[in-house]
Amino acid sequence: MHSLKQLARKLKNEGYAVYLASKDSRTPWYARLLAVVIVAYAFSPIDLIPDFIPILGYLDDLILVPVGIWIVVKLIPTHVLAECREKAEAMKSQGKPKNWIAAGAIGVLWLLLGVLIVLWLRRFFKR
């Protein structure tokens, strides 16, 4: 039986391999799109359910991210995924990739979503 720490390490490596596969042109467009969404959600500081809410705050991370990675892994061709896993293993010592443009885009999307929710709530409570 794997320990929880080993499973977390494997999930982290799979997440990085999925990230690399999302940049590979041999990966189908639908798998690339889902991979980008899952990786963006995993690295986003904003969650669907905020982490400060007891139990539920971490439950979305513990369920959504692994299930999303599992689905994306099933959509990526095996030879592409094998290469990306090798690259991920080789690049493990370099740390997480930093893409400030993607981080800014995610921040803007969350900000727009927040504004839309506030506008909707204002309209809802004016009735």
What average pLDDT does range 5-25 have in this prediction? 83
Q: Which class for 29: exposed (0-12), middle (13-18), buried (19 or more C-beta within 10 A)?
A: exposed
What does the alpha-carbon distance between residue 85 and residue 66 come to, in Å, rounded to a whole number?
A: 16
Render pLDDT for 62-116 as a digit per residue (tens, 0 to 9): 788 888 888 999 999 999 999 999 988 887 766 655 667 777 777 888 889 889 9
Q: Which helix (H) or strand (E) holds 45?
A: none
DSSP letter assigned to residue 93 = G
